[in-house]
Amino acid sequence: MNRLLSAAAVLAMVTFSAGIAQAEDLVFTLKNNTKSTLTHFYTSPVGVDDWEGDVFGAQVLEPGETIELTIADGRTVCEYDMRMEFEGSATLDTTEDTQNLCEMGSYTIHE
């Protein structure tokens, strides 16, 4: 009986570990093709009601610049809501969009 319980425990740990190993970081390129400085960039998986932390931190993305971003949230989802906040622009103050970032590999912000 102890061997059976030990085998079941090992199998459960291996299965749990395999599930964790499948979660990969989501890496994509973000390009600011606007005339405004992108000051904040938030992402959240589709269906999550709250925005997660600002991906940029203290960094900004100037017009014409490109940056490679990594979402290392441990999830296996591809569809993310995105919120972009710009500096000093009435037309682009805040922009939101939803995309499958796994399929795209890159995302360009346009005015």
Can you give the residue range of the structural domain that contains 37?
24-110
pLDDT tens digits, 84-107: 999 876 577 788 899 999 888 899
DSSP H stretches of helix in the chain: 2-22, 101-104
pTM of structure = 0.72
* 18-29 tens-digit pLDDT: 444 445 788 999
Angle at 55 (CA atoms; ends 42, 59), nearest 5 degrees: 120
Domain assignment of residue 15, yes or no: no
Listed residue (59, 73, 66, 67) closest to 26, CA to CA: 73
Total domains in the chain come to: 1
What pLDDT, on a 0 to 100 scale, did the predictor assign at position 64? 96
Residue 98: give its domain's CATH number.
Answer: 2.60.40
